[in-house]
Amino acid sequence: MSCRGGAMPVGAVPAQKGDDMEFDPASDGMKPPGLAHNVYSSLVTPRPIGWISTISAAGAVNLAPYSFFNMVAGDPPAVMFCPNGSHADGGPKDSLRNVREVPEFVFNLCTYDLREAMNATSANLPSEVDEMTTAGIAAAPSVKVRPPRVAASPINLECQVVQILDLPSPATDKNTMVIGQVVQIHIDDGVIVDGMVDWRRLRPLARLGYFDYADLGEVFTLLRPA
Ligand SMILES: Cc1cc2nc3c(=O)[nH]c(=O)nc-3n(C[C@H](O)[C@H](O)[C@H](O)COP(=O)(O)O)c2cc1C
């Protein structure tokens, strides 16, 4: 699938808002007439990607991308990611199974350069497979938690799980939210310029809908009102 709007310059949407397409997701689903694919993940964009490493009680490392991810608090710092649905072999996804066994995880920032590696870790693999080794991704030890970090990722947040919430779910699958408190932070010196994280050096990958992603476009500053 190619990127939608490829020929249209960014921002070249019609000035006048058109009629609304309206539907109820519970009764109409996410692909009502007029839409070619499930539309939901295109409705809140761009989203950050939580590239989450976890470890099972038996020591199998799992690494998987989650775009139902975000920071949720600053003091103390907390983040969340949402394993939705089931593992291909049935039961919970490995990340969820792991945090139930070892309630710790690491957020690894996915950069543009790491996009292929990140995508490879979304493959369905048996629970006992070490996904970092299989995908050829070098691991670095964490300081306060057992799951390792992605060595090539410029930002890692070591997290301790504080809560696992059950979300409204279909009969067959379970949707959940895993909330973690950030207990150790790693920032690559190379992305700090004049005491600030430099977005150009960081080049974080953003998740759009369908199979589309975005690199950073123009970056500008907007001060808050007094
Ligand atoms: C960019 C991207 C974002 C994803 N976001 C989510 C997500 O938020 N929740 C989810 O359950 N799966 C998400 N997936 C799919 C999981 O990464 C995939 O199911 C993976 O195998 C996780 O399962 P595991 O924890 O069993 O390894 C995403 C995949 C990609 C490529």
Convert the pLDDT of each residue in 35-63 to its tens digit: 999 999 999 999 999 999 999 999 999 99
Q: 5: CA distance to ligand 1 center in Å? A: 26
- What lines the ligand 1 site, CB under 6 Å? 49, 62, 64-68, 82-85, 87, 93-95, 119, 122, 124, 207
Specify the pLDDT at position 89: 83
Specify the pLDDT at position 1: 42
Residues in the chain: 226
Residue nearest to atom 23 of ligand 1 (CA): 93
Specify the pLDDT at position 4: 56
**What Å distances lie between residue 99 and 40, 46, 194, CA to CA?**
27, 26, 37
Specify the pLDDT at position 78: 98
Residue nearest to atom 14 of ligand 1 (CA): 66
Residue 41's φ and ψ, nearest 5 degrees, are: -70, -5
- R_g (Cα) of the chain, nearest Å: 19
pLDDT over 80 at 13, yes or no? no
Specify the pLDDT at position 117: 95
Specify the pLDDT at position 95: 96
- H or E element that contains 151: none
Domains and CATH numbers, the chain: 29-213 (2.30.110.10)
Q: 123: CA distance to ligand 1 center in Å? A: 8
Q: How confident is the model at residue 192 (pLDDT cuts 50, 70, 90)?
A: very high
Q: How far apart are the C-alpha atoms of 109 and 152, rounded to whole Å?
A: 9
Q: 103: CA distance to ligand 1 center in Å? A: 19
Convert the pLDDT of each residue in 119-156 to its tens digit: 999 998 888 888 898 889 999 999 999 999 999 999 99
Nearest-atom number in ligand 1 for the CA of 62 is 27
